[in-house]
C-alpha cells in the first residue's frame, strides 16, 4: 500500500506545487529571437508571421531583430554565427552565399523534419550541404529586372521593351520629357548590382555553357562578350544622363518612392520590392509594372529568377524546439497567407498548396507571366555556381558612377571571384 501523506504534509506539498518548486510546468512564455533584414516588405511579412504564429502558440513570443542589407549584413550574420551569438532563427540567402555559412558546423539539420514535405524540391537543393537540408523558404521566388511606372509609360505612349535597344529608346523619350529615366540608389550599394546579375538569362542565352565554365575557371566576365555587357550597360545609362541626380546618395527606400510616385520611370530591382511598395506606397501599387531585363534578341526575351532566401536555426540556439515550430509554421499554407497579408502578394511561393490571391498587383501579374508554360527563364548564376565574389556591389557602384571603366570593373570582379573560389577550395583555381 502506498504511503498517504498526512494533512500537514499534504498542505506543504500543495504549497510547493503552487510555487513551482516540484517541477510544475511554468506558464512563462519563451521568447524566440528572429534576425531579418530591415526592408519594409520583410518586416511586414515577419510581423504578420509573428502575430499568427503566437496566436497558435501562445507560449512562444517572437522578437524580431533587424540587420542591414548587402555586405554589412552578410558580415553581421557570419560574425554572429562564428561567435555563437546568433538569434534563434535567422534569414539569409540560399544558393552560393549559403555555402559560406558552413552549415554542417553551424546550423541545425532539418532534413527529416515533417514540415520539409511541404517544401518544393527545387528550393531544398539551394539550402543543402552534403545531401542534408538546413532551411525553409521565406517569402517568394523573385525576378530580376525593371520596375516601371505605368502612368509615365501611358503618358508617353511607350511599351515595355523586349530588347536593350528598345529600353534605351524608351529612356531617351523619358529623359526628353524631363523625367529621370533610370533610378539608381547607390547609398545602398547592394542595389547597384541588378544590371549585372539580372542579365544572366541573356548571358546564358548567348553562352549556355558559361556557368559551368565559370565555376571551372574557364570563363571570365572580362573576356566573355555576353557577360561583360552587364557592366557596359551600367556605364551606358550613366553616360547618357539617364540617372536621377541624387543616385550616389539615394537609398533603396528612395527608389521605391520615386518609381511609385512617378519621380522616375525605371528602377532596376528584384521583385521583392513590389512588397515594399505595397506596404509603404499602397495607394500607388497599381501604377507599377515589371519587365525582365532585356537583351539583344526579342525572341529570347526572358527572366533571371531568384529563389527565395531561407530561414535557418543555428546550433547555438537555446530554443531549437520552438524554432522548429516556427519554421514549420512558415512552411505551411497558413504561413504563406500571413506573409501575403503582411507584405502583399509578391510572386510564387516555394511551399506546396500556397496560392496567390485571384487579384494581384499589375507588377506581380507581370512577374507570374514569366513562370507560365512556354515562357523563358533562367536561374540566377548564384544557383548554378558556388562562386559569387563579395565585392560586386562596390564594383558596380564604381562602374555605374563613371569612376571605373566597364572592362576594368569586370576584370576586378574576376579577381574578386578568384579569391573566393580559392577560399572555397574549388578545383581548377590558383
Under the banding of pLDDT at 50, 70 and 90, the label for residue 27 is low
Under the banding of pLDDT at 50, 70 and 90, the label for residue 29 is confident
Residues 275 and 176 in one domain: yes
Average pLDDT of the chain to the nearest whole number = 92
Q: How far, in Å, CA of 376 to CA of 387, rounded?
A: 24
Within a domain: residue 20? no
Question: pLDDT tens across 246-300, in order?
Answer: 999 999 999 999 999 999 999 999 998 998 898 899 999 999 999 999 999 999 9
Specify the pLDDT at position 215: 95
Within a domain: residue 324? yes
Lowest mean pLDDT among 39-43, 166-170, 203-207, 404-408: 39-43
8 A C-beta contact, residue 268 and residue 242: no
Question: pLDDT tens across 310-327, in order?
Answer: 999 999 999 999 999 999
Higher pLDDT, 387 or 27: 387
3-state secondary structure (DSSP) of residue 338? helix
Under the banding of pLDDT at 50, 70 and 90, the label for residue 11 is very low
Specify the pLDDT at position 14: 42
Within a domain: residue 18? no
Percent of the chain with pLDDT over 70: 93
Residues 152 and 263 in one domain: yes
Lowest mean pLDDT among 111-115, 123-127, 194-198, 331-335: 123-127
Under the banding of pLDDT at 50, 70 and 90, the label for residue 234 is very high
- Across 381-407, average pLDDT: 95
Residue 23 reports pLDDT greater than 60: no
Residues 216 and 319 in one domain: no
Task: Please provide the size of the chain in residues.
Answer: 430
φ, ψ at 49 (rounded to 5°):
-60, -45
Exposed, middle or buried by CB within 10 Å (0-12, 13-18, 19+), for 218?
A: exposed
Residues 136 and 53 in one domain: yes
3-state secondary structure (DSSP) of residue 34? strand
Provide the residue range defining the domain that includes 420: 142-306+365-424
Residues 72 and 126 in one domain: yes
Under the banding of pLDDT at 50, 70 and 90, the label for residue 205 is very high
Residue 9 reports pLDDT greater than 60: no
Higher pLDDT, 358 or 23: 358
Residues 401 and 344 in one domain: no
Q: How far, in Å, CA of 161 to CA of 201, rounded?
A: 15
Specify the pLDDT at position 123: 93
Within a domain: residue 3? no
Question: Last residue of a domain, which of 357, 379, 396?
Answer: 357
Higher pLDDT, 221 or 280: 221
Name the strands in the sheet holding 310-312, side by side, starting at the edge strand that comes first in the sequence: 60-67, 30-37, 89-92, 310-312, 136-137
DSSP output for 262-298: TSSSEEEEETTHHHHHHHH-GGGGGGEEEEEPPBS-G
> Which H helix or E strand runs over 32?
strand 30-37
8 A C-beta contact, residue 57 and residue 325: yes
Question: pLDDT tens across 91-132, in order?
Answer: 999 988 898 899 999 999 999 999 999 999 989 999 999 999
Within a domain: residue 282? yes
Residues 253 and 384 in one domain: yes
Under the banding of pLDDT at 50, 70 and 90, the label for residue 392 is very high
Residue 353 reports pLDDT greater than 70: yes
Residues 319 and 200 in one domain: no
Lowest mean pLDDT among 20-34, 54-68, 177-191: 20-34
CATH of the domain at 408: 3.40.190.10
Within a domain: residue 380? yes
Residues 315 and 388 in one domain: no
Residues 374 and 408 in one domain: yes
Q: How far, in Å, CA of 34 to CA of 63, rounded?
A: 6
Residues 347 and 378 in one domain: no
Within a domain: residue 353? yes
- Total domains, the chain: 2
Q: Could you give the angle at which helices 273-280 and 40-56 cross, rounded to 10 degrees?
A: 80
- Across 160-170, average pLDDT: 98
Residue 178 reports pLDDT greater than 50: yes
Q: How far, in Å, CA of 42 to CA of 49, rounded?
A: 10
Alpha carbon of 301 to those of 24, 61, 136, 368, 394: distances in Å?
64, 46, 31, 15, 28
Residue 6 reports pLDDT greater than 50: no
Residue 20 reports pLDDT greater than 80: no
Residues 286 and 148 in one domain: yes
Amino acid at each position: 500500500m502506498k504511503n498517504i501523506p498526512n494533512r500537514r504534509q499534504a498542505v506543504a506539498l500543495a504549497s510547493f506545487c503552487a510555487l513551482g518548486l516540484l517541477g510544475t510546468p511554468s506558464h512563462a512564455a519563451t521568447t524566440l529571437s528572429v534576425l531579418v533584414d530591415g526592408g519594409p516588405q520583410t518586416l511586414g511579412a515577419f510581423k504578420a508571421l509573428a502575430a499568427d504564429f503566437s496566436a497558435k502558440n501562445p507560449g512562444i513570443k517572437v522578437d524580431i531583430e533587424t540587420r542591414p542589407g548587402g555586405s554589412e549584413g552578410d558580415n553581421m550574420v557570419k560574425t554572429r554565427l562564428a561567435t555563437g551569438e546568433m538569434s534563434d532563427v535567422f534569414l539569409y540567402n540560399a544558393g552560393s552565399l549559403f555555402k559560406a555559412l558552413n552549415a554542417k558546423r553551424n546550423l541545425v539539420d532539418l532534413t527529416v523534419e515533417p514540415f520539409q514535405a511541404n517544401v518544393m524540391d527545387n528550393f531544398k537543393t539551394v539550402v543543402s550541404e552534403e545531401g542534408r537540408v538546413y532551411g525553409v523558404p521565406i517569402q517568394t521566388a523573385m525576378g530580376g529586372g525593371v520596375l516601371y511606372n505605368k502612368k509615365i509609360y501611358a503618358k508617353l505612349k511607350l511599351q515595355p521593351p523586349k530588347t536593350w535597344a528598345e529600353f534605351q529608346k524608351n529612356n531617351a523619350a523619358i529623359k526628353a520629357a524631363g523625367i529621370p529615366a533610370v533610378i539608381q540608389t547607390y547609398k545602398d550599394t547592394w542595389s547597384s548590382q541588378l544590371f549585372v546579375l539580372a542579365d544572366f538569362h541573356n548571358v546564358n542565352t548567348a553562352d549556355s555553357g558559361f556557368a559551368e565554365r565559370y565555376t571551372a575557371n574557364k570563363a571570365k566576365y572580362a573576356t566573355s562578350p555576353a557577360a561583360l555587357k552587364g557592366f557596359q550597360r551600367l556605364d551606358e545609362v550613366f553616360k547618357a544622363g539617364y540617372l536621377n541626380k541624387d543616385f550616389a546618395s539615394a537609398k533603396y527606400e528612395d527608389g521605391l518612392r520615386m518609381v511609385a510616385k512617378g519621380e522616375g520611370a525605371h528602377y532596376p530591382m528584384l521583385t521583392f520590392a513590389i512588397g515594399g511598395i505595397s506596404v509603404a506606397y499602397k495607394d500607388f501599387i497599381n501604377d507599377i509594372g515589371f519587365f525582365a531585363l532585356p537583351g539583344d534578341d526579342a525572341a529570347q526575351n526572358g527572366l533571371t529568377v531568384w529563389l527565395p532566401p531561407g530561414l535557418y536555426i543555428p546550433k547555438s540556439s537555446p530554443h531549437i524546439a520552438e524554432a522548429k515550430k516556427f519554421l514549420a509554421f512558415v512552411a505551411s499554407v497558413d504561413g504563406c497567407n500571413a506573409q501575403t497579408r503582411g507584405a502583399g502578394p509578391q510572386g510564387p511561393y516555394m511551399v506546396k498548396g500556397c496560392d496567390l490571391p485571384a487579384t494581384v498587383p499589375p507588377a506581380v501579374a507581370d512577374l507570374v507571366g514569366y513562370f507560365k508554360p512556354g515562357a523563358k527563364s533562367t536561374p540566377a548564376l548564384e544557383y548554378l555556381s558556388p562562386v559569387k565574389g563579395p565585392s560586386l556591389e562596390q564594383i558596380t557602384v564604381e562602374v555605374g558612377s563613371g569612376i571605373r571603366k566597364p572592362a576594368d570593373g569586370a576584370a576586378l570582379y574576376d579577381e574578386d571571384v578568384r579569391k573566393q573560389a580559392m577560399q572555397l577550395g574549388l578545383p581548377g583555381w590558383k
